[in-house]
Every structure is written in structure tokens, then in C-alpha cells.
Amino acid sequence: MQRLFPSDRKAFTLVLDIQTSRPTQLKIEALDAKKPFTAFYRTVGEIKGRREYELLFPLSPNELDVRIYDAKFKSYNDYIRGTNSDTRNSIKVTSTKIIPLKTTPIWLSDNDRSFIKFAEKFSENAGIYSATNHDGTPSIYRSDDGKFTIDYYDKIQDRQTKQFINTPARIGHQTGVIEVSKKDFQRYTVPMRMVILLHEYSHKWKNQESGLRIENESGADINALMMYLSLGYSPIEAHQAFLYVFKGANNKVNKDRYMIIRDFIMKFKKGELGQYYTTQNVVKR
């Protein structure tokens, strides 16, 4: 099924009660109805008869295009072409409800707030922004206050060998300039883009505040997740983002990193990290 919701760029939680006539691996996508390569939510999970889903939207477009279909199909269009109306009617949305988005205010510096605003704008538009220019230079995007810069490439190259490398983003430890791969970001949802950008930002600006070395990966993971989850972004999308990145470098170091990430997200969801929470200097939308 496909439904359009007038989301009006507001923050909210969309609660869907879904029923199926048989056990199904279900895919749910929430897309910008007007902008290509801009998914605000994407998840796959098994449903056995009935299940309630809560879709979290700290950011939303003017109009959301919500598509729900059997995950064995690569895309919703493939699903429509490959099924008849009887099959499609086996998936029913029995109720929809809009409730407030739950956020967990934490203390944020002026730099944090500036970067979050910049990262959200970039994440919403990364699918349509231009990247590598004809002369091989990147398209350059800067925050309104000029503090932060993203060099947007079609694909990131190694600085010495000029070979393309398997990373969606990296940051210059001296310059603070973030390089981003459009090939990767086009495939990512808006929340996945956000957690990746917050990870890179954390290397340069948050790790040292936490008493960590700039190159500490788990420190950047946790600092990014603290901001990301506090803003109400989906834990599921955070898992997906890191799993996508680690898939290209499946080793013990990244396995250990993921276990730390998983543990942190679980503790955050349970409210076990109260020492970090505050109502001061939060991001206002």
C-alpha cells in the first residue's frame, strides 16, 4: 500500500497498526514525495498477523510518501508489477496515529547546535546536491556561520594513491573539513546520513572534549549517538548506518565497535544514561 501524509516539515511520530494474512517480511519506506533519493525512514521486519510500528521523524518533508510492501521485492514498483490486487490486499493498515516525537534533551555547545543544523540541511538534500565537478574538484557546502565545510565527491579517493576507497565519509583531523561520498549517501536514509556526519564531527570537536584522542573511533561513535538519539532519531537507522559501513570492513575491530554501539543504544533506550540529560542549550526547531 501507498499513502501520502501532509507532514508539513514537522517533527512527530507516526504510529501504524499493520495486519497481514500470512507471515511476511515487510518493508516500510517513508520518502519525500517530491524529492528523489530522499528517504526519511526505511525498515524491514517480520510481521506475523499484526504489528504496531512507530516511525520517528525529527525531520520531515512537506509531504511524506509512505510505502508498505513485501520485502522480497526490490522496490515498491517491482511489488506493484509483480502482484495482483488480492495479494496486495493481504497487507492492511488498520489504523494510523500521529503522536509527539520523544526527545531527550542534552547539553549542546554552540558548535554542536550549529553543526546539527548544517548536517540536517545537508542530509535532507544530499540526494540532489551536486558532487564532483568536471575538473575533479568537489562541490563545497558550508554552514551558515562558516564554521563547517563538507566537500562532496561522487566517490572519495585515497589522497596518495588516488584510488577510490570504501568509506561514506571522513574528516581532516587538522582542517575539520568533512569529505562525503555521494554514491554512498544516495543509498542512505536521512537519519543514516545524520549519524555518519555526527560521527565525523565528533572526531574533531567532541572526542577531545571527552578527553579522548581525535582518532578514537568508539569515542566518535558514542558522542555521535548521544546527539543523534537525543534529537529523537531512530535507533534502527543508526544500527543500519554502522552495519553498512562495517560491511565493507568486516573485522574484529569493527565487530567490537558494533558491540559497544549496540550496548550504548540499548542503555539509551532504557533511560540508563541520565547523567548526560539536561534541558539547557537544546536544539530548538
Q: How far apart are CA 157 and CA 278, in angstroms?
A: 41
Smallest Cα–Cα separation from 196: which of 165, 250, 233, 157? Answer: 233
Q: Among 37-41, 66-70, 266-270, whose mean pLDDT is lowest?
A: 266-270
Q: Report pLDDT digits (tens) over 105-159.
A: 888 999 999 999 999 999 999 999 999 999 999 999 999 999 999 999 999 998 8
> What is the rounded distance in angstroms from the CA atom of residue 88 to the CA atom of residue 98?
25
Does the pLDDT at position 284 exceed 80? no
- Confidence at residue 281, expressed as pLDDT on a 0 to 100 scale: 52
Strand bridging mode 149-153 / 178-181: parallel
pTM over 0.85: yes
At 279 the pLDDT is 44
Q: What is the pLDDT of residues 23-64, one digit of tens each?
A: 999 999 999 999 999 999 999 999 999 999 999 999 999 999
pLDDT of 280 higher than 60: no
pLDDT band at 101 (very low <50, low <70, confident <90, very high): very high
pLDDT single digits (tens) 206-248: 998 888 999 999 999 999 999 999 999 999 999 999 999 998 7
Per DSSP, which regions of the chain are E strands?
2-5, 12-20, 24-32, 39-47, 50-57, 64-70, 91-99, 139-142, 149-153, 169-171, 178-181
pLDDT tens digits along 169-182: 999 999 999 999 99
Q: For position 276, what pLDDT does the model report?
A: 55
Q: What is residue 274's predicted lDDT score, i.e. its pLDDT?
A: 62
- What is the chain's mean pLDDT, rounded? 93
3 state DSSP class of 101: coil
Distances (CA, A) of 238 to 98, 145, 264: 22, 28, 11
∠ CA 248-253-256, rounded to 5°:
110
CA 25 – CA 44 distance, rounded (Å): 7
Residue 79 clears pLDDT 80, i.e. is over it:
yes
Q: Which three cell numbers stand for residue 21?
A: 494474512
pLDDT of residue 275: 56
pLDDT at 277: 52
